[in-house]
Chains A and B, each alone.
Chain A
C-alpha cells in the first residue's frame, strides 16, 4: 500500500511526464529520486496512466539495475568492480568492504549501509573507485575505505 503522500507524489510525477515521448524512464527516475525506490504498488498506477499492462511496467523496472525495489540503507556505498579497477585491487577492496560491513553485498541487517557493485564510474585512470552517498572517491585503498565509511559512523 502506498501512503497518501506517496500516492500524491507519484500522481504528480506521472501527470507531469506522461505526455513525454518515451516518458516511462524519466517518470521512474523521478519517482526513485523522490521516494528512494519504486514501490511495487506504483506500478499499477503507472500502467493505468500510460495504457500499458502492469507486467510491461514491471518488466521495465526490473530490467534496469539502477531502479530499487526496496529503500536503500542510510548510507549507500558502491564499489567499482570493472576491469580497470580490478587491475588496481578492486576485488580486495570489495572483500574488505564485505568483511567490515558483515555483508556479501546488499543492505546490512541493521539497515545502516547498502553495499553494491557498480560497473565503471569513468574514473578508470585513478582506480579503484567508489561512491559513498553520491560522492565520488578515487584511488581507494582499504585505509581510505575505512576512513570514508567510518567517518559517517556506519562501521561499528
Chain B
C-alpha cells in the first residue's frame, strides 16, 4: 500500500516552495523505490510552518515543517514517511496547540482534505447541508439561517437571513446569488484559503442560497490577484455540476443553479457590493446609491443575494447540524465563529477560527507568540485598511461586533495586521488617505476630493506647519468623509486616520494628553 504524503497547494505554501518540495519528494521517492501518494491538500493555516508536510501513519497524520526542497533527502533518510523523528517533526498534526485551541466549524476540512476531491468532501460531511436543505421548504431554509444569527462576514455584519428572506419574498422571473470574493483588504486571506482549500463548501453554501430564494444563476466575483483561487473554483464548479451537486436538476430535485466565476480587474472599490455589481455588468465599478437595496434591485436590476465567501461557506454546517449548534458558539448578537487572520509583524501568523468573544491579546500572544521582530507590539489594525489602529488598552475587549463598536473599532472580516514599535502611525495614516485617493471610484465628492485633501493636510502636519489648526482641519475633513460618502471606502477611511491621530499623537509631532501618560 502506498504511503500518503500531504503537501499543501495553498498559495501561501506555494509562495514558500511547496511545489518544489512536492517535486523533490516525487523524484526522490521514485529513486528509492518508495510507493508514495502525494495529496495536495489545503493549508492548515499555520503559515510560519509552511510548507507543512504531513505523513499518514497508523497513529494519525504526523507533521513536518517548515520543509524546504533541500530537506527532502534528509527527511527520507530519516524515514519520515513512517512518522519517524526528525528535527522538523512537529508530532501529530491534530495535537498541535495552535490547532487544538481553535473551534473550526467553517474551516474544519481546511488542510485535511484534497480540495478537488468530491469523495473526500463527502467523507467529511460535505453536501450534508445541501441534502438537508433540499428536504426543507425554502422558507424553512431561510428560517434556519435567521435562527443561526449568521451575520455577513465581509465586514458590514448585516444579518444574512434577512437578506435571504427579502430576496425569497421578492417576485421576479430571474434572481441571482452573488458571491463577493474581491478580498482586497491587506491582512485578510480567509476567502482565498476557503476557495483554494475547500471550494465545494462555497459552492454548497451558494447552492443552498439559490434553493432558498429561487435564484437560478450565480456569480463568484474573484479578484485577479488570486489566480489559484480562480482556477480552483472553476475546476470545482465543473466537478460539482458534472456530479449533480449544482447546475441542472440538483441531486434530482428538479432545482437548477448555474454558477460562473467572474474575474475582477484590480479595483479595490469593487469589494463594495454595488460597485461589484456594476463590474459584473461589464461597467466601471462605480458605487450605486442605495436605496434601492440590491436584495430587491441588484445584479442586472434583479433581486440578488450578495454575501462574501465566508458567509456562504458558513451556511452548509448550519443546515447540516441545525441553527442551535451554530449559536452555541459566540457571545451576544455575535453568534458562531470567525476565522481570524493574524498577519504582519507576528511570530506565528496564521488563521485561527474561534468563537466570538476571544480577545486581541489572546490572539496576539497565545496564538501569535508576539511580534516577529521581537520588538514590542505598538499598533494593531483590525478589520482591514479601513479599520482602526487599536492601542494596547483595548486588547482585552472581547471581540464581538457590539463590544468592538463601543470602543470605535470594527471587527469586520477578522483581519488583524500587527505593527511593532518601529511603525510610524502618521505615515500609516497618510497611506490610508493616499490609498483612498487612488482607489476612489470618483462618484462622490467627499471620497474623491476629501482623500486627496487628506493627504495634503497630513503632509502639512508631518512638516509641523501650524499643527493645531491643521489637526482641526483634518478632523473636520474626516467628519465630512464619514457622513457624506456614498460607500464604506470614503466613510471608513477616517477610521485608520483618526485612530492613529487619537492614540498615537506623538507620531504626528503632537503632545500626548496628560491622561494618557498616567
Q: Mark B149-161, 1 if CB is under 8 A from A, else 0.
A: 0000000000000
Q: Chain A nearest CB: distance from B249 CB in Å? A: 22
Q: Which of A60, A83, A121 contacts B428 (CB 8 A)?
A: A83
- Complex alpha-carbon distance, A88 and B420, angstroms: 9
- Complex alpha-carbon distance, A149 and B334, angstroms: 47
B342 within 8 A of A: yes
Chain A contacts with B in 43-85, Cβ cutoff 8 A:
50, 59-60, 63-67, 80, 82-85
Residues of A near B224 (CB, < 8 A) are 29, 66
Q: Contact: B285 with A63, CB < 8 Å? A: yes
Q: Chain B nearest CB: distance from A64 CB in Å? A: 3
Given that A82-B186, A122-B188, A136-B14 are contacting pairs, would A88 and B372 also be in contact in the complex, using a CB cutoff of 8 Å? yes
Residues of B near A120 (CB, < 8 A) are 183-186, 188, 225
B435 within 8 A of A: yes
Q: Which residue in chain A gives the minimum CB-CB distance to B43?
A: A125
Q: Give the size range of A's interface with the partner.
A: 35 or more
Q: Mark B426-448, 1 if CB is under 8 A from A, else 0.
A: 00100100010000010000000
Given that A119-B186, A124-B189 are contacting pairs, would A136 and B341 also be in contact in the complex, using a CB cutoff of 8 Å? no
A142 within 8 A of B: no
Instruction: Pull 11 A–B residue pairs with CB atoms less than 8 Å apart, ordered by A.
Output: A21-B281, A25-B263, A64-B285, A83-B187, A83-B428, A87-B344, A87-B419, A120-B185, A122-B226, A126-B12, A138-B12
- Complex alpha-carbon distance, A152 and B98, angstroms: 38
B411 within 8 A of A: no
Q: Contact: A28 with B349, CB < 8 Å? A: no
Given that A122-B226, A125-B341, A125-B342 are contacting pairs, would A25 and B265 also be in contact in the complex, using a CB cutoff of 8 Å? yes
Given that A86-B431, A122-B11 are contacting pairs, would A24 and B282 also be in contact in the complex, using a CB cutoff of 8 Å? yes
- Complex alpha-carbon distance, A28 and B227, angstroms: 16
Q: Contact: A123 with B189, CB < 8 Å? A: yes
Q: Mark B179-207, 1 if CB is under 8 A from A, else 0.
A: 00001111111001000000000000000
Residues of A near B8 (CB, < 8 A) are none
Q: Mark B1-43, 1 if CB is under 8 A from A, else 0.
A: 0000000000110111000000000000000000000000000
Given that A83-B431, A124-B349 are contacting pairs, would A139 and B282 also be in contact in the complex, using a CB cutoff of 8 Å? no
Residues of B near A60 (CB, < 8 A) are 282-284
A4 within 8 A of B: no
A129 within 8 A of B: yes
Q: Contact: A64 with B266, CB < 8 Å? A: yes
Q: Chain A nearest CB: distance from B424 CB in Å? A: 10
B245 within 8 A of A: no
B410 within 8 A of A: no
Q: Contact: B344 with A83, CB < 8 Å? A: yes
Residues of B near A25 (CB, < 8 A) are 262-265, 279-280, 282
Chain A contacts with B in 1-46, Cβ cutoff 8 A:
21-26, 28-29
B495 within 8 A of A: no
A98 within 8 A of B: no
B343 within 8 A of A: yes
A127 within 8 A of B: yes
Q: Contact: B188 with A124, CB < 8 Å? A: yes
Q: Chain A nearest CB: distance from B347 CB in Å? A: 11
Q: Contact: B282 with A124, CB < 8 Å? A: no
B residues with CB within 8 A of A: 11-12, 14-16, 47-48, 50, 183-189, 192, 224-227, 262-268, 279-285, 300, 341-346, 349-351, 372, 381, 385, 415, 417-420, 423, 428, 431, 435, 441
A112 within 8 A of B: no
Q: Contact: B47 with A59, CB < 8 Å? A: no
Residues of B near A138 (CB, < 8 A) are 12, 15-16
A residues with CB within 8 A of B: 21-26, 28-29, 50, 59-60, 63-67, 80, 82-88, 118-127, 129, 134, 136-139
Residues of B near A63 (CB, < 8 A) are 267, 284-285, 441
Q: Which residue in chain A gives the minimum CB-CB distance to B348?
A: A125
Q: Contact: B283 with A118, CB < 8 Å? A: no
Residues of A near B227 (CB, < 8 A) are 134
Q: Chain B nearest CB: distance from A1 CB in Å? A: 26
Given that A25-B279, A124-B343, A126-B47 are contacting pairs, would A87 and B12 also be in contact in the complex, using a CB cutoff of 8 Å? no
Given that A25-B263, A29-B265, A83-B385 are contacting pairs, would A123 and B11 also be in contact in the complex, using a CB cutoff of 8 Å? yes
Q: Which residue in chain A gives the minimum CB-CB distance to B184?
A: A120
Given that A22-B281, A119-B186, A119-B435 are contacting pairs, would A136 and B385 also be in contact in the complex, using a CB cutoff of 8 Å? no
Given that A29-B263, A138-B16 are contacting pairs, would A84 and B11 also be in contact in the complex, using a CB cutoff of 8 Å? no
Given that A26-B262, A86-B431, A88-B372 are contacting pairs, would A65 and B345 also be in contact in the complex, using a CB cutoff of 8 Å? no
Q: Chain A nearest CB: distance from B321 CB in Å? A: 29
Residues of B near A123 (CB, < 8 A) are 11-12, 15, 189
Residues of B near A65 (CB, < 8 A) are 265-267
Residues of B near A21 (CB, < 8 A) are 281, 300
Q: Which residue in chain B gives the minimum CB-CB distance to A63?
A: B284
Q: Chain A nearest CB: distance from B323 CB in Å? A: 31
Q: Chain B nearest CB: distance from A19 CB in Å? A: 12
The 10 lowest CB-CB distance pairs between A and B, nearest first, are: A125-B349, A82-B186, A24-B282, A64-B265, A124-B343, A66-B266, A65-B266, A136-B15, A138-B15, A122-B189
